[in-house]
Amino acid sequence: MKRVGIYGWGIVAPRSPNVEVFERNLESSESWLAAFDGFGQDPFLVGRPEFDFEDYREWVESRFPPNRFRQLTTKMDLTTLYAVGAFIQSLQQNPGIESVLQELGSKAHVYLGTGLGALGTLHDATLDLDRARRRWDRFWAAEERCEPRRRYHEAPEETREELGDVPRDPAELEDEDDRLEALRVWNAYWASQSASLQEYVLELTRIEAVSVGEDVEADKLKALREKERLRARLQERWGAPEPPWESVSSNVLWNIPNTPASQVSMLGRVTGLAFAPIAACATFGVCLKVGIDAIQRGEARAVVVGATDPPPHPLMVAAFYRGRVLSADRRVSKPLTGLRGTHVSGGSAVWIVGERSFMEEKGFHPLGMEPVAVGVSSDADHIITPSREGPLVAVRQAMAQAGIKPEEMAGWDLHATATPGDFLEVENIRSILPEHVLVTARKGTFGHGMGAGGGWELTAQYLGVERGAFFPTSLAREELNPAIARVHGAFVYDTPVPASRGPVGKLSMGVGGVNSCVISRPLAPPPPSPSGGGGAEE
C-alpha cells in the first residue's frame, strides 16, 4: 500500500495569519478568543481570524495579470480568500512543489471543503434583495399603477370582500413590527394585481428575447449592449426602481461551496479533479481521507486537502446559540470543564499530501507526522447530539486500517466542544484506549472552526510531535470536570508534555452525526518505489 506524507501546510486562524505564527502561539496556554460584539453588545466570545490578503498580493501578481488580485478581492469573500492564503503558505515549505502540482496534470487533485460556506455574502445579498423587493412592490402597488387597489379603496367597506381575499390593511395595526410586516405583505399583494407591472414585464421579456446571431463572439457583445440600452429606456419611461433581480450581487454565484477548491485549482494551475467534500466539523478529516484514498488507488500522486470557514457572523453565532451549544457568559468555556458551550471561529487549514516515494524521490521532505489511516462513520441518530457507537465505529475502523493496537497509542486529540458531549466522548475513547494515553482538547484555545477546526487540531498535534512535546492547552489541572476526571486522568494541561514516539489519533464529530478519525505515526523513511522512480504523469 502506498504511504502518504504531508509536504506543505498553511493556517489562517485566530491570532494566527500563517502557520509560523500559529506554531509560536501554541507555545502558550492563553486563549486566542476575543469579544464578538456583532450585535452591538453581546455576551459572546469568538475566534476571529487574523488575516490580510494583501500579504499574498506579490505572489498573485507575479503569476497573473494585474487585474487578477482585484478580481479576487472584489468577487471572493473571506471564506475563499482564507483558503487561498493557506494554500499559498502550503507551497512554501517545499520549494518547487508548485511546479510539480502543475506537471502532474490529472494526477494532482484539490479536495477543499467548507463547514459553513459564504455566510456573509449570502446575508448581505439577502438584505439587498429584501430592500429592493420592498421598494419594487411599493412602486407597483401605488394606486396610480394598480387599478384593483384604487377600486378597493373607493368601494364601500361592506362590499370590499367581493374584491377578493385582500390582506389586512397595515394601517389597522398598532404594533410597529406587525405593521411593517403587514405592509410588506400588503404591497406584494397589490403589486401582483398591477396591470402596469404586467405591461412592464411583457416589454421586458421582449427585450430579453434578443438572441445572439451566427457570429457568436461578435454578436454576443452586440446583444448585451442592445439589451442594456433597451432596459435603460424601459426604466426611464416607467420611472421604476431597480428590479429586485437586478439588486443581488453575482458574488452569490461566485461564492458557492466549491469556490474555495476551484480558486485553489485555478491559482495553483492544478488541472486534476477539484471539489468540496462537506462534512460539517468532520470536513478536514473527510477531505484527508478522500485524498489518501485517491493516492492509494493511483488516481493521484499529490492532493491539496483542507477546509475553510467564514469569520464569525451574527447568523452563525445566533444559530449556534439557539442550538444550545454556544457559551454566552463572556468567559472562555474550556473543554472538559464546566461544559457551558463552545465558541465559534473562522479561518482555514490547507495541507498538500503526496505519495511518499514519489515526492521524496523529487527531494521534498515530509512534515510533522505520517497520516496512516482515516476512519469515517455516521451516527444515523441525531443532528447535534453525538451517539455512543457512531464515533467508535470510525475509531475502530481507523485503528484497524492502520494496524495499530490501542496500547501502542501515545496521544489522542478530542473533538471536545465544552458541551455535555465531552463526557461521553471521553468515556468512549477510554473504552478503547489505555489510561497512559495523553489526551488533548484545544477548542478553548482557538474556538470551534466548523470545517477548519479539525485541521488546526491535527496541525497542532503534528507540530508538537515533530518538536517532541505536546503543546499546552488552555485547561488547568484544577479545572478538569470531576466526572471526567473519574473516567480518565492523563490530559495535557497548561504546560507542555513530552511526546513519546508512538502513534496518535484525532477524532472529529460533525453536525449531522458525521465522524472522522485520523491515526498518524512518527515519520520514518518510506519504502523504495517499486518502479525505482517516477516522473510526473499527464
Which of 228, 246, 264 is a domain's end point?
Answer: 246
Task: Report which DSSP code applies to 526.
Answer: P
Which of 220, 246, 272 is a domain's end point?
Answer: 246
Mean pLDDT value across residues 143-155 = 91
Same domain assignment for residues 314 and 357: yes
Examine residue 386 and state whether it is found in any structural domain, yes or no. yes
> Partners of 12 in the beta sheet?
348
Q: What is the pLDDT of residues 6-37, one digit of tens each?
A: 999 999 999 999 999 999 999 999 999 999 99
CA distances from 529 to 104, 315, 357 (A): 17, 50, 5
Q: What is the pLDDT of residues 440-487, one digit of tens each?
A: 999 999 999 999 999 999 999 999 999 999 999 999 999 999 999 999
Question: Which percentage of the chain shows pLDDT scores above 90?
Answer: 88
Expressed as residue numbers, the domain containing 203 is: 122-246
Same domain assignment for residues 47 and 90: yes
Cβ–Cβ under 8 Å, residues 350 and 456: no
Angle at 372 between CA 538 and CA 23, to 5 degrees: 95
Same domain assignment for residues 113 and 172: no
Same domain assignment for residues 337 and 474: yes
Examine residue 527 and state whether it is found in any structural domain, yes or no. no
Same domain assignment for residues 100 and 227: no
The domain total for the chain is 2
Largest CA distance in the chain: 94
CATH number at residue 18: 3.40.47.10
Same domain assignment for residues 457 and 428: yes
Taking the model in full, what pTM does it have? 0.94
CA distances from 522 to 131, 143, 441, 519 (A): 56, 76, 20, 11
Q: Tell me the pLDDT of the chain averaged across its residues.
A: 94
Examine residue 441 and state whether it is found in any structural domain, yes or no. yes
Question: Which percentage of the chain shows pLDDT scores above 70?
Answer: 96
